[in-house]
Structure formats: structure tokens, C-alpha cells
């Protein structure tokens, strides 16, 4: 089932949604969370946090999805399980791809014209699609409590 949800996130990405939006949308759909704020709340996290060379948007979307599934609804609840799930995703992604930083993963600065050109010339869109699918799988595994 996780594979089909990961495929759904990749399909959303291919349809024009960006990385963080796609991961959050697919996991939200899988969890039957219908909210008009999804994907809106994820948009600023896309492209390495608004093309700032920050965290990969797929990871940001995964973190948002973990919050959606496991986040606190009151201040007296523990954050421990959520933090553990986020660390599982970060550790797994970084172990597999070497980083969770958008610029390091892609080898270009999406905040510049040169970086945008490099992204398109090197056809890195497909690479991002694989990050989206894998971040989705890792988030689902962490939510389900699997390592």
C-alpha cells in the first residue's frame, strides 16, 4: 500500500504540484484527511524552502504529513513520538541520498537564474520525483512505526 501512495505522490508531482505539496497531498488523501489548506500550507516549503537552498521540499512535506498524522492537539501532549518519526525520515533520507538539503541534492541553487537553467538542462525534475516518492515511503513507515 505504501508503494501505491508513493506512486500517487509522484503522480501529483508530475501533474504540476511541487515536492512538499505532493508528499502532503498523497499522505493526506491516504489518511482520508480532506482539508482545503492542503496543499496550500506546504507551498512555501517547496524547492528547498522557497528556493533558499534549504531543506528538500519532499522532506518538508514528509514532516508536515507526520504532523498531520501524529501531531499534538493540546499543549500537554508529548512530542516524543513525532520527533522520533521525523528523525527516522531524516536519517533514512540522508543515509540513502547523502543529504536533506535541496542545493546539495541537486547541485544547483534554485534561487538563481543559473540554477534554474541547470535544473532544466540537467532534467533534475525526474530526480526530484524520486525524492518525492521516497520521502513519502519513509514518512509512511515512520507513521506506522516501522524502521
What is the per-residue pLDDT for 69? 95
pLDDT of 147 higher than 90 = no
pLDDT of 129 higher than 60 = yes
Mean per-residue pLDDT, 23-50: 95
Dist. CA 30–CA 96, nearest whole Å: 25
For residue 47, name the pLDDT band (cuts at 50, 70, 90): very high
Determine phi and psi for 55, rounding to 5 degrees: -60, 140
In percent, the amount of the chain with pLDDT more than 90 equals: 93
DSSP, residue by residue, 44-74: GGHHHHHHSS-B-HHHHHHHHHHHHHH--SS
What is the per-residue pLDDT for 3? 86
70-85 in b/e burial notation, b at 16+ Cβ within 10 A?
Answer: beeeeeeeeeebbeeb
pLDDT tens track for 62-94: 999 999 999 999 999 999 999 999 999 999 999
Amino acid at each position: 500500500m505504501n508503494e501505491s501512495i508513493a506512486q500517487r505522490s509522484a503522480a501529483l508531482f508530475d501533474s504540476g504540484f511541487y515536492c512538499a505539496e505532493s508528499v502532503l497531498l498523497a499522505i493526506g488523501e491516504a489518511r482520508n484527511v480532506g482539508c482545503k489548506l492542503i496543499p496550500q500550507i506546504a507551498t512555501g516549503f517547496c524547492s528547498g524552502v522557497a528556493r533558499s537552498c534549504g531543506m528538500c521540499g519532499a522532506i518538508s512535506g514528509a514532516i508536515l504529513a507526520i504532523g498531520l498524522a501524529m501531531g499534538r492537539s493540546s499543549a500537554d501532549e508529548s512530542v516524543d513520538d513525532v520527533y522520533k518519526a521525523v528523525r527516522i525520515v531524516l536519517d533514512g533520507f540522508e543515509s540513502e541520498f547523502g543529504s536533506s538539503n535541496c542545493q546539495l541534492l541537486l547541485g544547483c541553487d534554485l534561487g538563481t537564474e543559473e540554477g534554474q537553467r541547470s535544473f532544466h538542462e540537467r532534467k533534475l525534475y525526474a530526480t526530484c520525483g524520486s525524492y518525492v516518492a521516497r520521502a513519502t515511503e519513509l514518512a509512511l513507515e515512520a507513521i506506522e512505526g516501522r524502521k
